Amino acid sequence: MEQLLLLIFLPLVGAMITAFAGKSAKIVSTVFSVVSLVLALVIAGNFIPNASIQFEVNLPWIADLGINFHAGIDGISMLVVLLTNLLVPIIILSSYKHDYKNPAAFYALILFMQTGLLLVFTALDAFLFYIGWEAALIPIYFICAIWGGKDRIRINMKFFVYTIAGSLFMLMGIIYLYLQNPAHNFDIQAFYALNLDSAQQGWIFWAFFIAFAIKMPIFPFHTWQPDTYTAAPAQGTMLLSGIMLKMGIYGVIRWLLPIVPAGVHDWGQLVIILSIIGIVYASLIAFTQKDAKRLVAYSSIAHVGLIAAGIFAFNQQGMQGAMVQMLSHGINVVGLFFVLDIIFSRVKTNKIEDLGGIAKVAPQLAIAFLIIVLGTVALPGTNGFIGEFLLLMGVYNYGIWAAAIAGLTIIFGAVYMLRMYQNVMLGQTNSLTITFTDIKGTEKLVLYTICALIIVLGVYPKPILHLTEASVQHLLEQVNQKLNTVN
């Protein structure tokens, strides 16, 4: 219990201290993020990979309304807790070459966001989940709005309106479930046990799904994403793509499927269709992009579409693939955006046509970038392969045509990612890239860490699969049992 409370609130304490650390904010935030990672690894080391909730905390909070501070970790949440605590120090280290104005506020907001994310990934009370959901939005909005690029205010207002609108739909669903609960509390198990008819489950499905689909994002709820990813500062883009979109995926798995299985059964096929449309649409748009950062943004939409299709295929392979791919996508996309940040910091552009020949003058960067690209396109032996393989197997078990079309994400992704790599890294240097310098210091540390994770998880994914297997199987059994009682 004490370990989980410390894990959740240590970044918040770090945020408050960092806010007053002045020029030392970079170092202070790094220390707190690394300590949080060590604590997460200790918890993971003591975690028993079965279907039970562990390190559980259940304390009265607003007793009159049946609200408790109820949190805990199972195999599903353990994975995203590890991802969050792994990526935050990497993202902070990736910023060391930047001199942001008011660095104390910048790094404090990152740590504050980490607490919101951890609340989302560990909450077993719907009210607490919603608090974490909103708490994670506030700091990323200010990070993007204050330190973002051109036209950031308009772009971030669109992002804010989208996400707030989705949150309001989810809040209505939570309140309705609370009113249907005889115990009048927000406990997740009480929500799981509710006996709702198909019509009730249908509209609650959409109330929750819209909120989750916007965060992921899934077509057609994605239109805020490319502009926001492009206008955000590099570290803001990494937080959004590496961790924040996992909130939507996790929300579907933890809250949507077990609470409204009949709604999932009735509307799941539509979601798979939307996901597959998103895969093809985002891939085709990626082909036309002249800005590398926007290309990676559309690539992310395609990858998330495959994850969503795997989840709603509703079988062991698809669900396991979604879990593994959440981790792999987070690592890979942070690596991609960091490489593009390094390039932008050197030559002040991410336009593909203006680059070229960087491998000749920065061979270490070129090798690291190639490993990250190969992980992204799911080359066997990299972390991206096992997740996409399981996802496609899960979608294939759902329907062969769905798998055939969804599989285009691998073919298209390989084409546009390798073509981008060729145009940016290979060929002859030009007036912009001739003076390009290779990576050093913290840039090496971050990229070498990411490359090592890509290779190690690709060669030996068993610990990750073992971590989530029992929880995923229990979830599927639980949902199928409830679905049978509704039918």
Question: Checking phi first, is residue 151 left (phi over 0); if not, alpha (psi -120 to 50) or beta?
Answer: left
How does strand 54-62 pair with strand 67-73?
antiparallel
Q: What pLDDT, on the 0 to 100 scale, is given for residue 428?
A: 86
Q: What pLDDT, on the 0 to 100 scale, is given for residue 487?
A: 55
Query: In 342-473, which ranges are E strands?
Result: none
Q: What pLDDT, on the 0 to 100 scale, is given for residue 154?
A: 83
Give the residue ranges of DSSP H helices in 348-376: 358-361, 363-376
Residue 174, number of CB atoms within 10 A of its CB: 20
Q: What pLDDT, on the 0 to 100 scale, is given for residue 100?
A: 85
Task: State which H helix or E strand residue 40 sits in.
Answer: helix 25-46
- Kindly state the tokens that stand for 377: 């396109």
Beta bridge partners of 234: none
State how far the Cα of 274 lies from the Cα of 302, in Å rounded to an integer.
Answer: 11
Residues with Cβ within 8 Å of residue 247, at least 6 apart in sequence:
117, 120, 121, 133, 136, 212, 215
What rounded mean pLDDT belongs to the chain?
90
Q: What pLDDT, on the 0 to 100 scale, is given for residue 119?
A: 95
Q: Per-domain residue ranges for the chain?
A: 279-487
3-class SS at 160?
Answer: helix
Q: Give the burial class of 320: count Cβ atoms within 10 A of its Cβ; 0-12 exposed, 13-18 middle, 19 or more buried.
A: buried
pLDDT along the chain (487 residues), means of 10: 88 93 90 95 91 89 88 93 95 89 92 95 94 91 84 81 89 92 88 86 92 89 83 89 91 91 88 90 89 90 90 89 92 94 90 89 93 92 90 88 82 90 89 88 93 94 90 88 70
- Kindly state the tokens that stand for 321: 């693939």
State how far the Cα of 447 lies from the Cα of 373, in Å rounded to an integer.
Answer: 12
Give the residue ranges of DSSP H helices in 95-195: 103-122, 126-147, 152-180, 188-192
Give the residue ranges of DSSP H helices in 216-315: 225-231, 234-239, 245-251, 257-259, 261-287, 292-313
Asked whether 470 and 50 are in contact (CB, 8 A), the reply is: yes
State how far the Cα of 251 lies from the Cα of 133, in Å rounded to an integer.
Answer: 10
